[in-house]
Structure 1
Amino acid sequence: MSRVPATNLQLKNDSRIGVVGGGPAGSFFALHVLRFAAQKKLRLHVTIFEGRDFSRAGPVGCAKCAGLLSAGAQRHLKTLNLTLPSEIIQSTADSYVLHMAGGTVEIFPPHHNRKIISVYRGRGPRLSPLSESVNFDEWLLHQAEQAGACIKFCAVTAITAGPHPAVHTGQTGYHFDLIVLACGINGRRIQFNGFDYHPPQTKMMIQDELAQLPGQNRRIHVYFGRRRGIIFGATVPKGNFTNISLLTTDDRPSLKTVDRFLAESRAGGQTQRLCGCKPHIAVSRAQGYFADHFVAIGDAAATRLYKDGIGSAARTAERAAYTAVYSGIGAANFRRRYVPLCRRIALDNFFGRLLFASWEMTNRLPWLTHLWLHALNAVGGRLHSADRCRLALWNMFTGDDSYRHIFFSLLHPGVVGLLLTVGWRLRRGQPEIKKVGETGEHIQ
């Protein structure tokens, strides 16, 4: 028996696609949909609407993001035959340094080719602007334009449903066969007419740019610990500057928290803050993120919790583009081909919450912090299990592996045995290593 198509809503020659948002999600979608259309010998007209002013430094022209490209995001660029210009790469991190309440440990990449690249999502800090050539978002948008997309620099105010849904920019309306919402949660508020779209739940973070901090040119520092009001913090090298990102317990945190954090962590002394913003991050999946002639991607739909937002944007953009070209643009098509990916991301974030909650608990209990610090730096016969622990942390910080796989890797019998052995030695007063915070030594 032959299958009956779920819908007859298909892209055809000269179909029009409107992409709301010219960040990585929107640019990746345009690149993929035009690539898939070429494979199918389909002629499409893609228009990207971008409301940011890339000529201005600071939050106005920025995506309010730390700007880290994981190994997965870098591989995604290669699948599109894109090579980052050297001027866009601000720094390449060789390691993560984990700061806990009882000491520190340095985590090195498992392979030499798994580097973390930092970029600017705009023209740099508000008080120290850089040239336009450093803007990753603008460069990627230009790649989409070269591939055939049309770019309109204007703010979208509303999206209206219908057989040919419309994008409204002030007094002007543009009709399309498919509208792709890719503007993310930090974009301008958009009115949805006829769509039952509800954005993800969010938390507010604090970000700023500082003059380069001592000893941070090739290292990303991650802070877990009993600092007042701080869940975790991170400093990322970016050329002559350092980005600082803080997730706090406050619903509406103050930028002064940066000064307090730097003082308490002894990370920056009297370093001047050069920018400052309070971006939202998605902590849930959106509702109503697909319909006939409509789909949302990136953090407007589903994104990895806390880490690798650009990688999630690339994955959802590619899957939505493939669905639109090879399956269709109806709700049934997206439900069958696109929604499973978003559900996997949401399920994976459940394990992410478990991991971050466990680390928060670890830092509340000094004995547990001490146990993990020794386990992470174990040598001798337990080196393989310690490597497994360090790999789990690397993947947790970078987004190079799923939270689910990381979670179960830490339940491996070798890891459990390592923790029991180290705990027994500590109880007997015979630790197998010196405390890293006291010696300054790091074991790779």
Structure 2
Amino acid sequence: MRNNNLFLKNGSKIAIIGGGPAGSFFAHFASRYAAETGIDVSIKIFDRKSFCQRGPRGCNMCAGVISENLFNKLEEEGINIAEFCVQRKIEAYCFYTQDDSVFLHHPVSGHTPKIVTVFRGNGPMQSPHEGNISFDDFLLNHVEKQGVEVIFEIVKRLKLPSKKGGPVKVIFGERKSGKEFEADLVVGAFGVNTGMMEKIGQMDFGYKPPKTVRTCQCEIMLSPEHIEKAFGNNVFVFALGKKELKFASITPKADYVTVNLVGRQDLTRNNLIDFLNHQAVKRLMPKDWEIPKSFCMCISKIPVSYAKHPYTDRIVVLGDASISRSYKSGIESAFNMAKLSAYTAFKCGVSEKALMNGYFKPAKRALARDNLYGIMMLKINDFLSSQRQIANANIRIIKSDKDKETANQINEILWNMLTGNAPYKEIFYKAMKPRLVLKMLPIDAFAWVRQKWDDVGAWLRRN
């Protein structure tokens, strides 16, 4: 029997905890579906952080690359990224090893990718720009125009109803104040870098946060002239044989570059300093460049698994604290899951069963299974990029004019892995094509033997 108390209707109140992209995207779709279904709802976003501020107070701890898939989806929704948010338009990725480098381009010849870099907050503390350039604040302004109210206060806790089907109480406010807001739907869009995740986990409805790993990120100020000369409109991705690193990149902005490191385990500032001191990295910096004594940096968490049971009656958790694509396209995942969960809430209801069947099960089918292919591809990539000779052999093939078909196949696989332009499953099957495997197997095997020979020689010299 349909329980009308667990459906949104005229006068329903929605509380969104978190003003980042996941929260703004849910507010956008909730506004749209409310209009489509002809019901009048009140939507409030709660977030203590103001993205108008510079430095850590406004930062949302992200490299700030808007993928082409997301760019196109935003345009379809009428969300056209303001030019003042765009720091740089990316044309290519540069795969950089200890000895060589190669530029990777969009697999479709002549296509100009719609990839842009942004600051999630209002830029680093020392940034010389004027005005507000925050992407996250741009999204909040967009949903405010749709009638959404943004409340810049912290949510302290949630209180489940004593009677099944009743509203959830949101307790918010600074310090000793304990304001209350009764919500017919609470959306957890708070990410994995806040204490709210643990508080939700203590509410005894079954929510278990995802496992996380600590990453390292910093903003390095360089002259616009040097950034244009050394980096251009290209994101640099590094395979330097460092076993502790799973992914390392430098993303150019207007007068900064963003360094982003992801490790197999938690990273520290020492890992960042070690990376910046590597000769391959220093070759991209100005002559006689030294690491600044102070710069904007953060140690932030990213999910490496998905949450368990991120829903109950009138509560749904989305974004990084729920389920997202592993290691790539976090903002796009937030967009997709916000759309799916908002559609479920308005079309199917806000009961635990409705949110499970309409949101979480489809999300697991779309992302969790694909992430398994991603894990396999990342392990293959970890091995190949950690072997100096194999990495160099693959770069030589991409650069060579002798076998364009193989070069284009490898370029496409690497492009899609780095940009998140295709599902991991699709990338995996393209990498496992018999012709490509038969072509690369002897080349990589020979390079592996050379690598082992080099390793033995290095060991003998040390001893």
For residues 33 and 6 of structure 1, do their structure 2 counterparts lie closer, same or farther at Cα, with a shift above 3 Å needed?
same
* Counterpart position of 2:190: 183
For residues 426 and 138 of structure 1, do their structure 2 counterparts lie closer, same or farther at Cα, with a shift above 3 Å needed?
closer
User: Deviation above 6 Å: which 4+ runs of structure 1?
Assistant: 424-427
Unaligned runs of 5+ in 1: 430-444
* Counterpart position of 1:289: 310
Partner Cα distance (1:227, 1:247) in 2? 11
Partner Cα distance (1:114, 1:261) in 2? 29
For residues 40 and 400 of structure 1, do their structure 2 counterparts lie closer, same or farther at Cα, with a shift above 3 Å needed?
same
* Counterpart position of 1:240: 255
Task: Give the alignment of 1:358-437 within 5 angstroms.
Answer: 358-380=380-402, 382-420=403-441, 422=443
Alignment length (residue pairs): 423
Residues 100 and 369, structure 1, Cα contact 8 Å, conserved in 2: yes
Query: Partner amino acid for 1:199?
Result: P
Residues 102 and 398, structure 2, Cα contact 8 Å, conserved in 1: yes
1:147-185 C-alpha deviation (Å, 9 max, x unpaired)? 111110011111222220111114112110010000111
When the two chains are superposed, the root-mean-square deviation of aligned CA atoms in Å is 2.3
* Aligned counterpart in structure 2 of residue 200 of structure 1, from 210, 215, 218: 210
Task: Give the alignment of 1:35-434 within 5 angstroms.
Answer: 35-111=32-108, 112-128=111-127, 130-162=129-161, 163-170=166-173, 171-189=178-196, 191-192=199-200, 193-212=203-222, 213=227, 215-227=230-242, 229-251=244-266, 253-264=267-278, 265=280, 266=282, 267-268=284-285, 269-272=289-292, 274-343=295-364, 344-380=366-402, 382-420=403-441, 422=443
Query: Partner amino acid for 2:192?
Result: I
Indicate the larger mover: 6-15 or 327-336: 6-15
For residues 5 and 224 of structure 1, do their structure 2 counterparts lie closer, same or farther at Cα, with a shift above 3 Å needed?
farther
Partner Cα distance (1:287, 1:360) in 2? 28
Query: Partner amino acid for 1:161?
Result: L
SS, match of residue 38 in structure 1:
helix
* Aligned counterpart in structure 2 of residue 14 of structure 1, from 4, 11, 15: 11
Partner Cα distance (2:423, 2:106) in 1? 16
Per-residue deviation, 1:79:
2.1
Residues 51 and 120, structure 2, Cα contact 8 Å, conserved in 1: no
TM-score calculated relative to the size of structure 1:
0.89
SS, match of residue 276 in structure 1:
strand
* Counterpart position of 1:439: none
* Counterpart position of 2:454: none
Per-residue deviation, 1:110:
2.6
Partner Cα distance (2:309, 2:232) in 1? 43
Partner Cα distance (1:172, 1:425) in 2? 67
SS, match of residue 437 in structure 2:
helix
Query: Partner amino acid for 1:18?
Result: A
Residues 21 and 335, structure 2, Cα contact 8 Å, conserved in 1: yes
For residues 124 and 372 of structure 1, do their structure 2 counterparts lie closer, same or farther at Cα, with a shift above 3 Å needed?
same
Partner Cα distance (1:6, 1:384) in 2? 58
TM-score calculated relative to the size of structure 2:
0.86
Partner Cα distance (1:302, 1:113) in 2? 31
Partner Cα distance (2:433, 2:397) in 1? 14
Partner Cα distance (1:235, 1:263) in 2? 14
Partner Cα distance (1:183, 1:411) in 2? 38
Residues 99 and 222, structure 1, Cα contact 8 Å, conserved in 2: yes
Indicate the larger mover: 220-229 or 305-314: 220-229
Unaligned runs of 5+ in 2: 451-463
